[in-house]
Amino acid sequence: MTGIHREIYGQGRPLVMLHGWAMHSGIWRDFARQLARQRHVICLDLPGHGRSANLDRFELSAIASSLIDAIPLNRFSVLGWSLGATVALEMAARFPGRVQSLLLLSGNPKFVKNIGWPGVRPEVLDGFVAQLNDDAKLTLQRFLGLQVQGLPDNRQLLQQLRLAVQECDAPARDALQGGLQILKNSDLRQSLVGLRCPVTVIQGDKDPLIPVQTGQSIKALNSRVALHVLANAGHVPFLSHAQQLCDIVAAAE
């Protein structure tokens, strides 16, 4: 597939960055430029998001393939945030010869909670699916608010999110619905077990979407995972804890 939008910054070890559901690369442009002081950063818009063309079917395997084809390097690290973390894990599992290392930011190999696995309650995602059909704009606004919920500077962070998101049109509706279905139905725990590349997991201890217990559950699957839990961080640590996060990413393999 052609038509994947790229933003490229800096020099050094290559790092591909994948944003989350309903977002685009502009959401973390300032953070990407900060990382670019030490890394060669390639930000990609997911299909149907931002300035990227849509896919006929917004499915995980097709997304991973389309992004791999858009990366002009043989070997690179991938940092995925939220839905982007799910996509990044799929890329690392399917294309081990291309993905040198993996960083999962506010992500989870299985997003939904079930017996023995911490995650978001299924009804939360079901609510977004139902609301998206009724009022897409309101649904997206609610999702932005959830990402900064409970943080002391939530109003300022929410304003930053809103301004960044408004840079581009909202994603195609089938991409939005498809992304929610990926989050609801994907279970990549066995993919994580089988990875041989270095894996770094970074999460906030106040993230309403990724429970803090997830980190230890991930390490139980793959003991080689490097886990970092950011104190007083929610779902968007690249806004609230940019320098701390930048230091972790710069030091990762």
CA-to-CA separations, 198 to 43, 115, 122, 126, 184, in angstroms, rounded:
20, 28, 30, 33, 26
- Per-residue model confidence (pLDDT) at position 1: 47
Active site residue 153: no
Is residue 82 among the annotated active site residues? yes
Residue 119 phi, psi dihedral angles, 5° rounding: -175, -175
Helix-helix angle 83-94:60-69, to 10 degrees = 70
pLDDT score, position 95: 98
User: Is residue 50 left, alpha or beta, with left meaning phi > 0 and alpha meaning psi from -120 to 50?
Assistant: left
Q: Please give the C-alpha separations between residue 208 and each of 53, 123, 144, 231, in angstroms, as whole numbers.
A: 31, 14, 12, 14
Q: Per-residue pLDDT tens, the chain, 253 aa: give them.
A: 469 999 999 999 999 999 999 999 999 999 999 999 999 999 999 999 999 999 998 999 999 999 999 999 999 999 999 999 999 999 999 999 999 999 999 999 999 999 999 999 888 888 888 888 777 778 888 888 888 888 888 888 889 888 888 899 888 888 999 999 999 999 999 999 999 999 999 999 999 999 999 999 999 999 999 999 999 999 999 999 999 999 999 998 7
| Joined tokens for residue 70 | 């858009």
- In three-state secondary structure terms, 52 is coil
- State the catalytic residue, choosing from 82, 101, 106, 240: 82
**CA triple 235-31-73, angle to 5 deg:** 105
The neighbour count for residue 224, using CB atoms within 10 Å, is 10
Question: CA-based angle 231:233:235, to the nearest 5?
Answer: 145
187 in catalytic set: no
- Give the Cα separation of 185 and 180 in Å (integer): 9
Residue 21: HSE in the Cβ half-sphere, 13 Å Cα cutoff = 33
Closest CA to 23 of 242, 179, 241, 208: 179
**Catalytic-labelled residue, pool 52, 106, 207, 228:** 207
Residue of 45, 235, 240, 241 marked catalytic: 235
